[in-house]
Amino acid sequence: MELRTLRYFVAVAEELHFARAAERLRIAAPSLSQQIKSLEASLGTPLFVRDRRHVELTAAGRMLLPDAREILELAARAQRRVAGATGPLRVGYVSWLPEQLTASAAVDVRVDEWIMPSHVQIARVLDGGLDAAIAWAGSRDERLDFRLLWPEPLLAVTPAGRTETTVPARKLRVLVDADLTSWQAWNDFATEFAEATGARLVHIDDGGIAGVAFHDRALRLNAPVLMSPKRHFDRLPASLRTRPVVDPCPLWCWSLVTRTNDERESIVALREHASNVIRPAASRTAPIPPIWLPSADPHRDEFRSAA
């Protein structure tokens, strides 16, 4: 059993057609037939029933298929991770990129061009597409190391007419978007925050969590709306003001996310740099207690005293 034969097996299992599978694998059909046959011989059990007209998985084949996929997936990830082990560290971010990250001469960092949501960047770190990411983590993961960079106190926007200087959480509208690809991390945060504080959830589907679409919606709602941490270039309209949120103040914790088992010198240095340089420099805007974090936030314990 080799990875190549497993690839062949998966192809046939997916196509259920030797000729098509062979084409996909860019080998000749007889070769594929031979390889499958030898795989079956080495396993001691047939994987397909070849009715003259149909190809079908046997019970053994059905059992092997998910394992084969998992093995191949793991191998591919391992390869990606090793491939990136040399050269500068590839670091992805979501919407906040601390200046101190690249300023350090100690670590050679290349900031990734792709700006994706937190859950996507974290997935890329796991599968080796990135060495590190600055993102929000919804929950712990044994395979990942999280270093707190900046607990960002989220703000609200209110119509300019209002006179209050802060907004209590329970008075807020909180937007969640139907597009999970883009907003899953935010939705998770927002949903739990609304449940915990009594803020009102507003379901949208136009991506208006950030940018101009967000301003439009805030104006139409004519009420305080929680702002996502997603930065955008568009200036806030004159008719809207930002205000701190209190009772409690929601903290969006930006972490440096790396793989636990990645202990290259450069990665260790980057983690140190995160704790010793970036973290202190980012703590200017202090939240107004009490604060609030999601129940599964990896940094929850670090705020025990303040909560």
Partner DNA sequence: CGCCCTTACGGATTTCGTAAGAATC
Partner DNA sequence: GATTCTTACGAAATCCGTAAGGGCG
Minimum CB distance to a second copy smaller for 126 or for 291: 126
Interacting residue with a second copy among 17, 77, 200, 232 (CB under 8 A): 77
- Which CA distances in Å does 279 have to 98, 152, 247, 270, 305? 10, 11, 25, 12, 18
Shortest CB 28 distance to a second copy, Å: 21
User: What minimum distance in Å lies between the beta carbon of 68 and a second copy?
Assistant: 7
Q: Is 142 in the site for a second copy (CB under 8 A)?
A: no
Contacts of 223 (CB under 8 A, 6+ apart): 158, 159, 171, 173
Closest contact distance (angstroms) between CB of 138 and a second copy is: 19
Q: How many Å apart are CA 182 and CA 29, to the nearest integer? A: 42
Q: What is the DSSP letter of 278?
A: I
Contact flag: residue 115 with a second copy (CB under 8 A): no
CB of 62 to a second copy, least distance (A): 7
Select 52 or 220, whichever has its Cβ closest to DNA.
52
Helices (H), 44-159: 59-83, 100-103, 118-126
Among DNA, a second copy, none, residue 262 binds (CB under 5-8 Å by kind): a second copy
Residue 110 phi, psi (nearest 5): -115, 115
Residue among 6 and 167 whose Cβ is closer to DNA:
6
79 binds a second copy (CB under 8 A): yes
Contacts to a second copy from residues 259-288, by CB under 8 A: 261-265
- Residue placing its CB nearer to DNA in the complex, 24 or 300: 24
Query: What's the CA angle centered on 130, arms 127 and 134, to 5 degrees?
Result: 115
Residue 128 Cβ vs a second copy, minimum distance, rounded to whole Å: 9
Q: How many residues bind a second copy (CB under 8 A)?
A: 32
SS (H, E, C) 221-239: HCCCEECCCCCCCCCCCCC
Q: Site residues for a second copy, window 8-67 (CB under 8 A)?
A: 43-45, 59-60, 62-64, 66-67
DSSP codes of every residue in 257-275: EEETT---HHHHHHHHHII
Q: Which does 178 bind (CB under 5 to 8 A by kind): DNA, a second copy, none?
A: none
Residues facing residue 136 across a β-bridge: 254
3-state class (DSSP) for residue 150 = strand
Interface with a second copy by CB under 8 A: which residues? 1-4, 43-45, 59-60, 62-64, 66-68, 70-71, 74-75, 77-79, 81-83, 85-86, 261-265
